[in-house]
Amino acid sequence: MDLNKIRNFSIIAHIDHGKSTLADRMLEITNTIEKRKMRDQVLDKMELEQERGITIKMQPVRMDFKVDGKDYVLNLIDTPGHIDFSYEVSRALKAVEGSILLVDSTQGVQAQTFTTLSMAQKSGLKIIPVLSKIDSPLARVDEVKTEVAVLLGVPEESILSVSGRTGEGVKELLEKIVKEIPAPKEMIDANGGFRALVFDFEYSNHKGVIVYVRVIDGEISKNNYLKFMGANEKFISLEVGTFSPDPVQKEKISAGEIGYIVTGIKKPGVASVGDTVTFEKKELPALPGYMNPSPVVWASLYPESQDEFEELKASLGKLKLSDSSLTYEEESSGALGRGFRCGFLGMLHLEIVTERIRREFNLSLVVTTPSITYKVKYKNGKEEMIYSPHNFPNDGETTEVMEPWVAVKIIAPMDYIGPIMQLLFEHEGEAKDIENFGDRSSILVEMPLRELMRNFFDNLKSISSGYASISYEIADARPADVVRLDILIADEPVIAFSRVVSRRRVTEEAEKAVEKLHKILPRQMFETKIQGKALGRILSSATVKAFRKDVLMKGSKMVGGGDISRKKKLLEKQKRGKAKMAKTGKVNIPQDVFLKMMKGGNDN
């Protein structure tokens, strides 16, 4: 195919800035999808994406469009906007030559806009700035145009305005894509060779691994002998094609195109994002790939029934085939049995993965309180990485503890700067720089990652009436003054409730955790003690009363005639029975208690 007739681009934006709706109108205007088959968020195929109105998984699509009587192929990669999925965005940007920077005209430039824009600029992409939602009565088109013009250093008249809902301005945007985004170029003289960069993949029970590729050099067809250069795995292309947006089989795909290759490989761990696909017998040099994403949040997943352990293992393996940023390893807990320690890119990523396991594999899970990674140095000189809070050493056993920090950008109206500064103090944040633009301020902050996870997002939204936006990236590791907080139920520590907290707040956190558990833990046949323990002592305590029914109550088989001494004997016998039960009885903690503690207790 003629490279000059191809345009590869992505749409980058803050979450909920109208990216998927704009993609819908593009598909409609280019007649890629018939109107009768059109629905909202057509590129968001996952049930969770449609429910939440967010993009989780990138989705490529090919559109045919005519400009000045010439036919062009536009390859769009729709990308997620949420900060947890910025890794997906970085992969998409490697496969394109240009990007639409979409900014909501009702909200203006947001913190995540800076992050995605920076990624696109570092990749050397042509940026086309566009304002969305101009049909909204809340649109501030002129003000936001000024913001974007200052951000990019471009004249205001070069910024397009569109409405994804009505389609206004979308045709003009497609024409601008053709005219301004450069055509792809072959990197080398392939001379009969072939190279493609893997930017995503999925798994099919029938076809095995299907890799999504951007063809860099040469061309490929069905039944070619290929290999993954990184994995050194050979395979035959069983099918090749493009996306419209459903897979469409083609005779061949060539340089500049975005498409898929069916590999037939059914074992995990072979395909990886960033690998190079080339001919088995005519290898071309490997392409620069991607950095592997590092998990920033860890949590343990256990099946509610240990009979479902193998099913959970299989489900994580299948999810890993389509989500390369998920990491997991097997672990065991006395109270919860066998499970998996899993690494995630953020709290939303954790939520999405656990929800997919419940829906797609019909498994009930117990999820421990999320935590981060600590590097500890013991007094004997030994160093260790701690992934689970219950493995964190006792107070006094270490000489140094290091924890990850984050560089945070907050954008908010100036009126909220005072309350935000107070919030930063409460979360150990250090404001490094404040810039004003228009009626809003941009604040650069450094803070511990554990404090970012301690409901910082929710608190920020609350004190700013929802107007503040935030983006962050992992910075360096710094010394931490933290301790392990254990929650004991009937004198037994429950590892799912253990967490690592700031030393200065440990008593407050112990009291909050015990109080919350006291409210949600069901009563037992015996009196149950709940305690918060840290620094080698009990910091807070509460008791869940036993069921009150006794041998003398109405309805008991033991009640009846007899003198007072007989009744006293029965009560004494019951008292001894309850005391024995309290010593040997096991407290039953239902799954919903674990879930409720996790929901409100992301404090480490």
pLDDT over 80 (residue 88): no
Return the closest-CA partner of residue 23 out of 130, 120, 127. Answer: 130
What would the pLDDT profile of 441-470 be if each residue is shown by its tens digit?
Answer: 889 999 999 888 888 888 888 898 888 888
Confidence of residue 84 (pLDDT cuts 50, 70, 90): very low
Contacts of residue 343, Cβ cutoff 8 Å, sequence gap at least 6: 295, 297, 298, 326, 327, 328, 387
Highest mean pLDDT pick, 92-101, 517-526, 530-539: 530-539
Q: 183 burial class (0-12, 13-18, 19+ CB within 10 angstroms)?
A: middle
pLDDT over 80 (residue 565): no
Highest mean pLDDT pick, 116-125, 187-196, 234-243: 234-243
pLDDT over 80 (residue 586): no
Helix (H) or strand (E) holding 525: none
**pLDDT on residue 239:** 94
Cross-strand pairs, 484: 500
Return the closest-CA partner of residue 91 out of 258, 219, 261, 264. Answer: 258
> Which amino acid appears at position 195 of this protein?
R
73, 61 contact by CB (below 8 A): no
Helices (H) and strands (E) in the chain, counts: 14, 31
**pLDDT on residue 173:** 94
pTM of the full predicted structure?
0.66
Helix (H) or strand (E) holding 315: helix 309-322
Confidence of residue 578 (pLDDT cuts 50, 70, 90): low
pLDDT over 70 (residue 40): no
Q: 80 burial class (0-12, 13-18, 19+ CB within 10 angstroms)?
A: buried
378-392, 439-453, 548-562: least confidently modelled range: 548-562
Confidence of residue 54 (pLDDT cuts 50, 70, 90): very low
Domain 195-279 = CATH 2.40.30.10: yes
Confidence of residue 159 (pLDDT cuts 50, 70, 90): very high
> Where do the CATH 3.30.70.240 domains begin and end in the chain?
374-479
Contacts of residue 560, Cβ cutoff 8 Å, sequence gap at least 6: none
> Where do the CATH 3.40.50.300 domains begin and end in the chain?
3-180
pLDDT over 70 (residue 174): yes
Cα 49–Cα 53–Cα 59 angle in degrees, nearest 5? 50
Q: 225: which 2 tokens? A: 């002998």
Confidence of residue 35 (pLDDT cuts 50, 70, 90): low
> Where do the CATH 3.30.70.2570 domains begin and end in the chain?
483-600
Return the closest-CA partner of residue 604 out of 521, 476, 426, 482. Answer: 482
**pLDDT on residue 44:** 43
Return the closest-CA partner of residue 166 out of 135, 138, 139, 140. Answer: 135
**pLDDT on residue 587:** 66
Contacts of residue 42, Cβ cutoff 8 Å, sequence gap at least 6: 23, 24, 27, 33, 245
Q: Alpha-carbon distance 437 to 416, whole Å? A: 14
| Topology of the domain comprising 3-180 | Rossmann fold (3.40.50)
> Where do the CATH 2.40.30.10 domains begin and end in the chain?
195-279
Top-confidence residue, 280 or 454: 280
Mean per-residue pLDDT over the chain, rounded: 81
Top-confidence residue, 346 or 89: 346
* Residues 25-38, mean pLDDT to the nearest whole number: 75
pLDDT over 70 (residue 567): no
**Domain 483-600, CATH homologous superfamily name and number:** Elongation factor 4, C-terminal domain (3.30.70.2570)
Q: Alpha-carbon distance 315 to 321, whole Å? A: 10
What would the pLDDT profile of 411-435 be if each residue is shown by its tens digit?
Answer: 888 889 999 999 999 999 999 999 8
CATH code matching the domain that covers 297-367, chosen among 1.10.3720.10, 3.40.50.300, 3.90.79.10, 3.30.70.870: 3.30.70.870
Proportion of the chain above pLDDT 70, given as a percent = 81
Q: Alpha-carbon distance 299 to 329, whole Å? A: 11
235, 258 contact by CB (below 8 A): no
> Where do the CATH 3.30.70.870 domains begin and end in the chain?
297-367
pLDDT over 80 (residue 281): yes
Domain 374-479 = CATH 3.30.70.240: yes
What would the pLDDT profile of 305-351 be if each residue is shown by its tens digit?
Answer: 888 999 999 889 888 776 767 889 898 766 678 889 888 877 777 87
Highest mean pLDDT pick, 270-274, 321-325, 353-357, 546-550: 353-357
Please, what's the largest Cα pairwise distance for the chain?
107
287-301, 508-522, 569-583: least confidently modelled range: 569-583
pLDDT over 60 (residue 562): no
**pLDDT on residue 120:** 81
**pLDDT on residue 539:** 94
* Residues 280-307, mean pLDDT to the nearest whole number: 78
Backbone angles phi, psi at 297, to 5 degrees: -125, 135
* Residues 99-124, mean pLDDT to the nearest whole number: 82
Give the SS3 label for residue 436: strand
pLDDT over 90 (residue 16): no
